[in-house]
């Protein structure tokens, strides 16, 4: 049952895109239901799934009115799904959680307290990675305590599932409609306005590595990163090459640690 012990706290809108997520969506929603912070709404936007994703979400909607479903009429990609959720969000704070990831129970409570006590607009946390069987692969720690725009260009240290934004401070946010790295572009755009992103250095989220996903394809991700530099951030060829060398260096370093 819903115990609204945090009704005096700001509403947090949870932004969740879903596409053919029947294998993992239950774990995702259950992790939200276990949150110690209770004043949230979970807006799940289904990106025209062909499996049982919608039926599973509707089961949870019957149990808890804080869970909401929006169904897209055609497959449009994660950026459109997230933007649709954000357009319908009523909360001051936005938190991002994809339909195959999870949060630890105190995630929202601890992160909101961290942001309120330190007057922060943009925060992120450490997280662990699990495989499709739910087995831990590695812990993503040693993340910088804060990053600005230029540091983010060198390496995206921010996991989407860990982010919380105070939209009263950042203003309205929207993701660019590209196939991948749309979250990275949003972080860059917020930092480009002068905001610094701060890390609550505690493991509070669980990222599931799904085989054959776009984010698991290293070459495609590298090409997309180059596209971000040149076509979206409009960096010169020289600057793009400079930052891309950092990107390659940090990726090689990361994969050697995880392997």
What pLDDT digit, counting tens, does each position of 80-139 carry?
A: 999 999 999 999 999 999 999 999 999 999 999 999 999 999 999 999 999 999 988 888
Q: Please state whether beta strands 164-166 and 40-46 pair in parallel, antiparallel, or not at all (unpaired).
A: unpaired
What beta strand segments (E) does 7-108 contain? 12-18, 40-46, 67-71, 93-96, 102-103
CA distances from 196 to 59, 122, 150, 234 (A): 39, 7, 11, 21
User: Helices in 119-236 by DSSP H: which ranges?
Assistant: 149-154, 167-170, 182-192, 218-227
Burial track 142-169 (b if 16+ CB lie within 10 A, e otherwise)? ebbeebebebbbbbbbbbbbbbbbbbee
Q: In the block, which residue shows the tokens 């319908």?
A: 88
Biggest alpha carbon distance in the chain? 57
The mean of the pLDDT values for the chain is 93
Count of CB atoms within 10 A of residue 124's CB? 28
Contact 79, 169 (CB under 8 A): no
Residue 1 above 50 pLDDT?
Answer: no
Domain boundaries 12-211, CATH class: alpha beta
Q: Where are the domains of the chain?
A: 12-211, 217-259
Indicate if the pLDDT at residue 218 is higher than 90: no
Q: How confident is the model at residue 83, as a pLDDT?
A: 98
Where residue 210 falls among pLDDT bands split at 50, 70, 90?
A: confident
State mean pLDDT over 231-245: 96
- Residue 142's alpha-carbon distances to 157, 167, 183, 199, in angstroms, are 10, 27, 21, 10
**pLDDT at 140 (0 to 100):** 83
pLDDT at site 63? 96
Q: How many residues are given for the chain?
A: 259
Model confidence at 256, pLDDT cuts 50, 70, 90, reads low
pLDDT in tens, 59-81: 999 999 999 999 999 999 999 99
Instruction: Judge whether 127 and 204 are in contact, CB under 8 Å.
Output: yes
Residues 6+ apart with CB under 8 A from 106: 35, 36, 37, 204
């Amino acid at each position: 049952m819903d115990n609204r012990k945090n009704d005096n706290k700001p509403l947090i809108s949870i932004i969740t895109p879903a596409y053919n997520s029947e294998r993992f969506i239950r774990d995702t929603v259950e992790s939200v239901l276990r949150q110690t912070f209770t004043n949230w709404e979970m807006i799940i936007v289904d990106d025209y799934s062909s499996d049982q994703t919608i039926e599973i979400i509707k089961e949870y909607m019957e149990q808890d009115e804080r869970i909401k479903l929006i169904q897209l009429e055609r497959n449009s990609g994660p950026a459109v799904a997230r933007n649709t959720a954000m357009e319908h969000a009523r909360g001051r704070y936005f938190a991002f959680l994809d339909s195959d990831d999870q949060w630890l129970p105190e995630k929202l409570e601890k992160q909101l307290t961290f942001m309120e006590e330190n007057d922060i607009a943009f925060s992120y946390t450490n997280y662990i990675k699990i495989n499709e069987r739910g087995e831990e692969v590695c812990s993503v720690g040693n993340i910088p305590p804060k990053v600005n725009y230029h540091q983010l260009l060198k390496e995206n240290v921010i996991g989407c599932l860990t982010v919380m934004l105070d939209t009263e401070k950042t203003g309205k946010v929207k993701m660019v409609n590209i196939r991948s790295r749309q979250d990275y572009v949003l972080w860059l755009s917020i930092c480009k306005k002068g905001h610094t992103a701060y890390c609550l250095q505690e493991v509070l989220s669980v990222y599931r590595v799904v085989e054959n996903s776009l984010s698991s394809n290293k070459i495609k991700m590298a090409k997309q990163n180059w596209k971000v530099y040149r076509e979206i951030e409009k960096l010169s060829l020289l600057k793009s090459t400079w930052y891309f060398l950092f990107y390659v260096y940090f990726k090689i370093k990361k994969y050697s640690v995880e392997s």
